[in-house]
């Protein structure tokens, strides 16, 4: 009988240790996942993709090692921006439905740790790009971080509805960085790539803001729908959509970019303008259809950017 009790006790102890090990493993994995979320991997992937396209489009001899070093530094820089943005905005993230489950509001990553990660990645990314690639690319990466964190996140986001317009420059710089890393200089090509993303940013985010206006109003962030109302927001979205469509043809000035890109860009622009005009027609209508149209435009705008830059990359491959 005593032996049986000993066996039961031993088995229970083993089970408890197994449970503790499983809990620790889950905690460790959760910690890794939360820190990855802190770096905003979806934004990072867009930064790396557009940066790679800018690198590939530069009319110079391809350097694979420089490309790897450039994209690694850009990924680190994008992660730094994500961490610093979440650190600064932790107070409003906790009160918004869209961001309440981010790592800092949930308590899974301490704010001080997010700040340390952001500062470390900022320093390492700029230094690595400068040492391994060239100073121009490093300066542009530093400018990107400066525009996104001190200018947009800290100074503009909570003060002006132009936050997205001005802050959008940060998101438009990655292809310029990629080009500068490859060529060591700038020309009309990277400026054309910059304009595409710069003019894409307002209609993309304002479409989302129409659907999330209650969240932004609750935390006091002056997004255009909250400040100017849906009528003016829909008008501005249409205006920027027209400017965006026109800007895409600037890329035709890049050597090797030709009719294939022009045809795809025209088709993509047609759909974008159609969705923007559909939203504009609902500017004074009921809220539910307007929100549905805004989400349709927002969703397509993500695909639009991918198609435009993927087509530019395809032109590079066809160019050989």
Domain holding 290: CATH number? 1.20.120
Q: Within this chain, do residues 125 and 242 fall inside the same structural domain, yes or no?
A: no
Q: Does any domain span residue 175?
A: no
Among the listed residues 69, 312, 97, 319, the one whose alpha carbon sits nearest the alpha carbon of residue 216? 97
* Averaged pLDDT score across all residues of the chain: 90
pLDDT band for position 318 (cuts 50, 70, 90): confident
Residue 17 has pLDDT above 80, yes or no: no
CA distance 249 to 56: 18
Share of the chain above pLDDT 90, in %: 78
How many domains are contained in the chain?
2
Q: Within this chain, do residues 211 and 152 fall inside the same structural domain, yes or no?
A: no
In CATH, what number is assigned to the domain containing residue 55? 1.10.357.140
Q: Does any domain span residue 280?
A: yes
Which pLDDT score is estimated for 253? 95
Q: Does any domain span residue 16?
A: no
The structure tokens 């997004």 sit at 223
Phi, psi of 247 (to 5 degrees): -65, -25
pLDDT band for position 320 (cuts 50, 70, 90): low
Which pLDDT score is estimated for 16? 45
Q: Does any domain span residue 25?
A: no
Host domain of residue 275? 187-320
Residue 288 has pLDDT above 80, yes or no: yes
Q: Within this chain, do residues 153 and 280 fall inside the same structural domain, yes or no?
A: no
Q: Please state the rounded mean pLDDT for residues 299-315.
A: 96
Residue 12 has pLDDT above 80, yes or no: no
Residue 66 has pLDDT above 80, yes or no: yes
Q: Within this chain, do residues 211 and 314 fall inside the same structural domain, yes or no?
A: yes
Dump pLDDT digits (tens) for 180-208. 999 999 999 999 999 999 999 999 999 99
- Its pTM stands at 0.89
Q: Within this chain, do residues 140 and 239 fall inside the same structural domain, yes or no?
A: no
Q: Does any domain span residue 21?
A: no
């Amino acid at each position: 009988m005593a032996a049986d009790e000993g066996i039961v006790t031993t088995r229970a102890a083993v089970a408890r240790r197994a449970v503790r090990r499983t809990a620790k493993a889950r905690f460790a994995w959760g910690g890794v996942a939360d820190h990855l979320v802190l770096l905003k991997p979806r934004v990072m992937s867009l930064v790396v993709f557009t940066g790679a396209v800018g690198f590939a489009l530069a009319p110079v001899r391809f350097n694979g090692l420089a490309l790897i070093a450039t994209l690694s530094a850009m990924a680190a820089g994008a992660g730094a921006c994500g961490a610093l943005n979440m650190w600064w905005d932790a107070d409003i993230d906790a009160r918004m439905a869209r961001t309440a489950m981010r790592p800092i509001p949930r308590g899974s990553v301490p704010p001080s740790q997010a700040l340390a990660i952001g500062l470390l990645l900022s320093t390492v990314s700029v230094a690595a790009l400068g040492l391994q690639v060239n100073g121009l690319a490093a300066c542009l990466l530093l400018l990107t971080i400066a525009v996104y964190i001190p200018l947009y996140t800290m100074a503009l986001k909570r003060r002006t509805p132009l936050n997205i317009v001005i802050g959008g420059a940060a998101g438009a710089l990655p292809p310029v960085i990629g080009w500068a890393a490859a060529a060591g200089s700038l020309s009309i090509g990277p400026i054309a790539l910059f304009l595409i993303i710069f003019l894409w940013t307002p209609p993309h985010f304002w479409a989302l803001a129409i659907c999330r206006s209650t969240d932004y109003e609750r935390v006091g962030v002056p997004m255009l729908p909250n400040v100017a109302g849906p009528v003016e927001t829909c008008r501005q979205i249409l205006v920027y959509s027209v400017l965006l469509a026109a800007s895409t043809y600037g890329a035709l000035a890049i050597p090797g970019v030709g009719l294939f890109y022009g045809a795809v860009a025209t088709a993509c622009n047609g759909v974008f303008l159609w969705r923007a005009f559909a939203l504009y027609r609902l500017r004074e209508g009921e809220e539910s259809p307007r929100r549905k149209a805004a989400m349709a435009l927002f969703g397509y705008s993500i695909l639009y950017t991918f198609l435009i830059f993927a087509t530019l990359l395809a032109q590079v491959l066809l160019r050989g």
